[in-house]
Amino acid sequence: MGAKSVCVYCGSRAGANPAYLHAAEELGTALAREGWRLVYGAGDVGLMGVVARTAQAAGGETFGVIPTHLMKLEVGKTDLTRFVITETMHERKKVMFMNADAVVVLPGGAGTLDEFFEVLTWAQLGLHGKPVLVLNVEGFWDPLTGLIDHVIAQGFADQSLKSHFQSVETPTKAVAQLRAAFAAEG
């Protein structure tokens, strides 16, 4: 089993609650300590920048992917272990996902939701079996899991939809879940 890569989807903003930043810091550090490469959107702003800087500070490898049109807005972080520039958002998401063994979703906005629903849909369709963890920092993602329950209750998805991701409250629990998932792969 080679070194693993974990894709982190998260906000390009810090958010209103300092707990979001602390979770990003803790996750970045933990990924590096586990010897796992961080794969993320290559920005140096918001939670994205925090998770990357802390992974780097802890000696971790970083793989960032950013489309040309976001280089200025998201302040492309060019000092990563690997820095990839794509033409489109679709290419960015594909390169990030294809270079990861698992996904962790920190708090974020519409882009983070887009990324989460894309990998959730792919899992539902049987296109991948990678672990997908929602890091529910201080209940941030409670409305999301409520929405998924609503979609199921209204007959637009089977109960099995919830089996394609797990919700965890802390970065420590996320790392423990990933360790278990990676060990089960053999």
Please state the domain extents for the chain.
Answer: 5-181
Report residue 184 as tokens: 């089960």
What number is the average pLDDT over the span 87-101? 96
pLDDT value at position 146? 98
pLDDT value at position 99? 97
Q: What is the pLDDT of residues 112-130, one digit of tens each?
A: 999 999 999 999 999 999 9
What pTM does this model have? Answer: 0.96
pLDDT value at position 186? 72
Report residue 167 as tokens: 């919700």
CA distances (Å), origin 124, targets 109, 135, 146, 167: 22, 20, 18, 17
Contact 112, 9 (CB under 8 A): yes
**Amino acid, single-letter form, for residue 154:** Q
pLDDT range class, residue 174, cuts 50, 70, 90: very high
pLDDT value at position 74? 86
pLDDT range class, residue 183, cuts 50, 70, 90: very high
Q: What is the pLDDT of residues 15-69, one digit of tens each?
A: 999 999 999 999 999 999 999 999 999 999 999 999 999 999 999 999 999 999 9
pLDDT range class, residue 185, cuts 50, 70, 90: confident
More confident residue, 98 or 186: 98
Contact 105, 116 (CB under 8 A): yes
CATH of 5-181, one of 3.40.50.10780, 3.30.70.2740, 3.40.50.450, 3.40.50.720: 3.40.50.450
Contact 66, 85 (CB under 8 A): yes
Burial 142-179 (b: 16+ CB within 10 A, else e): eebeeebeeeeeeeebeeebeebbebbebbeebbebbe
Q: What is the pLDDT of residues 136-169, one digit of tens each?
A: 999 999 999 999 999 999 999 999 999 999 999 9
